[in-house]
Amino acid sequence: MEANITSVKENPLLDRREVEVSLNHEGEATPSEEDVKSRIAAENGIETENIEVESIYTGFGKQSSKATLKVMQDFEYDEDLEEEALEEEVEVTEDYRDAVAGTITDAKDTLQDMEDVDWDAAIEAEKDNKNRTTLIDWLENQK
């Protein structure tokens, strides 16, 4: 399994860092929380008890995952990761909110009829709306 930190958000109020990790586990099952914790801890000099795995998401049929972690210990990371995390915020317009408001079939039909679909905005709209994993998986595949 390969693990790459893709973004870090400092949360000084709670004295922690919110970390997103890209996992490549080709030919293997989705890694367990313990596997992710031990890999990130070993590569970054962090104690495993200072890492909390919030989620590990693997799209259907994918051999890569995204993990969200909370790290309660300072560690060295590329400062550009914070800037990239800020840039990654997606603007969700009312069109995308309306598109995912109905049934999954309606959402798929509406989005396929749109020109130049911003799939990231559609995914965020669905996560803010009903957060249906079936639709999110379909949107990820369309992206």
Mean pLDDT value across residues 22-46? 92
Mean pLDDT value across residues 122-140? 89
- pLDDT score at 68: 93
Multiple choice CATH, 2-87, 3.40.50.2300, 1.10.3720.10, 3.40.50.300, 3.30.70.330:
3.30.70.330
Phi and psi dihedrals of 70, rounded to 5? -115, 120
Residue 97 has pLDDT above 60, yes or no: yes
Residue 86 has pLDDT above 70, yes or no: no
Helix (H) or strand (E) holding 58: strand 51-58
- pLDDT single digits (tens) 50-83: 999 999 998 888 889 999 999 998 887 776 666 5
Residue 81, CA atoms < 13 Å, CB-side half-sphere? 17
Q: Would you kindly state where each structural domain of the chain is located, as residue ranges? A: 2-87, 94-142
Residue 108 has pLDDT above 80, yes or no: yes
Look up tokens 């909110």; give the residue.
Answer: 97
pTM: 0.57
